[in-house]
Structure 1
Amino acid sequence: MSEHSFSILLSILSPFLTAAIPSIPPNYALAAAVYRLAHGAGYKAVGRRFGMDSPAACRAFYAVCKSVNDKLGNLFEFRSDMARIVAAFGWISLPNCCGVLGFGRFGIDSAMLGPNAALLVQALVDSEGRFLDVSAGWPSTMKPEAIFRQSKLYLGVEETRELLNGPAHELSDGNALPQYILGESCFPLLRWLLTPYVRSNVEDESFGVSEKAFNSAHSRAMGLVGTAFARVRARWQLLSREWKEECREFLPFVVVTGCLLNNFLMKCSEPQPDVNEECLEELPVFEGEMDASGERIRDALATHLSRVSLRR
């Protein structure tokens, strides 16, 4: 983090930090928290570096995380910046797309959750890797569909109707595409959530041209989620390590902090970490009933994408 970005962040968080931990200067608290996030350092090492004891370093870290969640929450811009999001996806031949939805995995040492225990984080990202919506803290033993249907994103579309209610986009063949997002195959196919074509069994014939075009575009888009999580882990090494069971309840809070700071640093035009695309969590393919309107919309988009690919 550059000195300029640090100064901007400090000016935003200082009032909260002064009230929350008056015994620690806000600049020391923020510097200590950023250092712990970036290097994965323990509280003892952080305390030595910034002239405080371990309990004070712990208080500073969680005060900063809380202030980032409270004061920078507006940087999840799904509700407020839809025109920019849609326009940017349009440039990569995905008309009226409003984001890409997938899961990240953060390991924990937990006997309760069994081997390879983890917390899952459902994230929606834009075409540049900004986080638009994050739902963190779900145990890896939970089915992806159950996580999805309990998330604020799902409720905001299906129940309150506050999201994805913008104008449809008319394709050249006259079909209309409502606002939609792309999602992994572990999600149900819905009118607003388009998942890839999946063969029901290995004996099925190969996909047609339009299905292949859709799955190819879908796969590239899903890479945006993997890259976004890879950048968060690269920048904040604390999130790359396995967490202990006793710290499990705090991990979702810290993951959201890392995602918000990722967006903040993008807004400050900080250079992004050089990363390889992260492989997303391998999750079981959704086996429930497909939504008929979702199938029609996916087919229309697939036909459009096949025409676009032929013109290249």
Structure 2
Amino acid sequence: MDQSFLLMLSNLLHLHNYLDPTTSPSFPPPLSPPPPPMPPPLPQPPSFSLPLPPSSPTSPHILQTKRTPNPPPPPPPPPRKTPSEFSVAAFRALSTEHIWAMEAPLRDAQWRSLYGLSYPVFTTVVEKLKPYITQSQLSLPSDYAVAMVLSRLSHGLSLKTLASRYALEPYLISKITNMVTRLLATKLYPEFIKIPVSRRRLVETTQGFQELTSLPNVCGAIDTTPVKLHKISPDMINGSMYVCKYGFPSVLLQVVADHKKIFWDVCVKAPGGYDDATHFRDSLLYNRLISGDIVWDKAVSVRGQPVRPYIVGDWCFPLLSFLLTPYSYNRTGNPAQNAFDEALMKGRKAVEEAIGLLKGRWKILQDLNVGLNHAPQTIVACCVLHNLCQIAREPEPELWKEPEENGQPPRVLENEKSCYYYGETLRQVLADDLYQRLSSR
């Protein structure tokens, strides 16, 4: 065979294997015309781009050679983290290092804005609760736990907001809140909420009310207020027992205050749908008064009638020997009766303002965002703190305005008839005496 033909056949087979290496060389494909020559491969772009001077030609060597870029400058160090405004470290720094370097008015104003009371009152609360908090083996410092709960009570913060602010789990916030409010409502209640049975305090209270009302021997003013519940189960709402007369779910708070707007009795025992008289009759105070367990010995004589200390309330409460109410809510009686009603309502103003201060200072009571089981102790804890602030003469915040109240006098129960008739006689004697004194001026 011609040598030139064999050489051409060998070249064709080699080219085919180069284009398709999977083809077995033992089965050469049929002969075919040689393919057209392949264009040269395009140069690969460089791994980085570098702008060249416009006057200088592009060098293939520069474009095709991979170069390592200059390492970027190291990032600046992160800013030094400062503790959160509400962290333990920040709280410690404020309360130990800086607090005494500040002027007292500025210091206490800052403390009130954060925790609802001045620094001296705050330290009083901490000192009284610290032994009990220490026994609970809480992992947080006692003063920090108290501060956290006070911030929730004074600002009405939710668990989620407080957990984010203090960088703690919501369940831990709830646990600490329940513990501190329970301690306030049980351990500090007997010390700061007391019935005025001592003669010195009783004289001070009755004299204070007499300056306000011109009525002798008033020792307290009683009123109720619904505390709105933020969350409540649908079945309770449908049952309407928790829906108060103003249309929102609530629990009923009953308080008795003195002339300084300090509570000397607190009761949270009924859903908001209860009326004032029913709630009062279910209270321990009523049972002690109706049974004679509490008898104030300081009696004065008015027109030959002995008058023992008594409480004043509005027309929603029952008229009794120890609780006097107005003749009417719209001053429709005779001149003596209207004068008595006006004087009595001046006394009631003390308890109305006390409730306004309570809800104005502890805003959580404007929309109570705790579980129903913990609602009573939270309310009572705020009442204890209110008394602490009043005793320490803390600045009074803007009053929370209660809705206007109206209603009919409650019916007289069988076991109350003797107290009711005595109360009628007592009220008439006081009305006639007051009217005569006012007319003789």
**How high is the TM-score relative to the length of structure 2?**
0.64
Secondary structure in 1 matching 2:194: coil
1:193 lines up with 2:193 in the alignment = no
- For residues 192-220 of structure 1, what are the alpha-carbon distances to aligned partners after superposition, in whole Å with 9 as ceiling and x for unaligned? 11111039xx9xx9422210111101222
- For residues 63-106 of structure 1, what are the alpha-carbon distances to aligned partners after superposition, in whole Å with 9 as ceiling and x for unaligned? 11011112221211214443322222122222111101111111
Letter in 2 for 1:185: W
Identity over the aligned pairs, expressed in percent?
A: 26
Asked if the contact 2:359/2:400 (under 8 Å) is kept, the reply is no
Asked if the contact 2:328/2:341 (under 8 Å) is kept, the reply is no
- Residue aligning to 1:169: 300
- Residue aligning to 1:301: 430
Letter in 2 for 1:127: H
1:230 lines up with 2:351 in the alignment = no
Query: Displacement of 1:40 after TM fit?
Result: 0.9
Asked if the contact 1:101/1:183 (under 8 Å) is kept, the reply is yes
Asked if the contact 1:137/1:251 (under 8 Å) is kept, the reply is no
Candidates 393, 401, 407, aligned match of 1:269: 393
Structure 2 CA distance for aligned equivalents of residues 211 and 99 of structure 1:
20
1:47 lines up with 2:163 in the alignment = yes
Letter in 1 for 2:387: N
Bigger mean CA offset, 281-290 vs 295-304: 281-290
Structure 1 CA distance for aligned equivalents of residues 168 and 387 of structure 2:
29
Candidates 368, 372, 379, aligned match of 1:255: 379
Secondary structure in 1 matching 2:354: helix
Asked if the contact 1:103/1:280 (under 8 Å) is kept, the reply is no
User: Against the structure 1 CA distance between its residues 242 and 276, is the aligned structure 2 distance closer, same or farther, given a 3 Å change threshold?
Assistant: closer
Secondary structure in 2 matching 1:170: strand
Query: Displacement of 1:190 after TM fit?
Result: 0.9
User: Against the structure 1 CA distance between its residues 178 and 11, is the aligned structure 2 distance closer, same or farther, given a 3 Å change threshold?
Assistant: same
Summarize the alignment of residues 57-136 of structure 1 with structure 2, pairs less than 5 Å apart: 57-73=173-189, 74-80=191-197, 81-92=201-212, 93-108=214-229, 109=232, 110-113=237-240, 114=243, 115-136=247-268
User: Against the structure 1 CA distance between its residues 206 and 258, is the aligned structure 2 distance closer, same or farther, given a 3 Å change threshold?
Assistant: closer
Letter in 1 for 2:254: Q
Structure with the larger RCO, 1 or 2 (CA within 8 Å, 6+ apart): 1
Structure that is richer in strand per residue: 1
Structure 1 CA distance for aligned equivalents of residues 349 and 313 of structure 2:
11
Asked if the contact 1:121/1:136 (under 8 Å) is kept, the reply is yes
Q: CA RMSD in A?
A: 2.3
Secondary structure in 2 matching 1:78: coil
**Which has the larger Rg?**
2
**How high is the TM-score relative to the length of structure 1?**
0.89
Structure 1 spans left out of the alignment, 5+ residues = none
Query: Displacement of 1:140 after TM fit?
Result: 2.6
Letter in 1 for 2:320: L
User: Against the structure 1 CA distance between its residues 243 and 43, is the aligned structure 2 distance closer, same or farther, given a 3 Å change threshold?
Assistant: closer
Aligned residues: 304
User: Against the structure 1 CA distance between its residues 75 and 288, is the aligned structure 2 distance closer, same or farther, given a 3 Å change threshold?
Assistant: same
Asked if the contact 1:47/1:54 (under 8 Å) is kept, the reply is yes
Structure 2 spans left out of the alignment, 5+ residues = 1-116
Asked if the contact 2:256/2:351 (under 8 Å) is kept, the reply is yes
Structure 2 CA distance for aligned equivalents of residues 243 and 61 of structure 1:
12
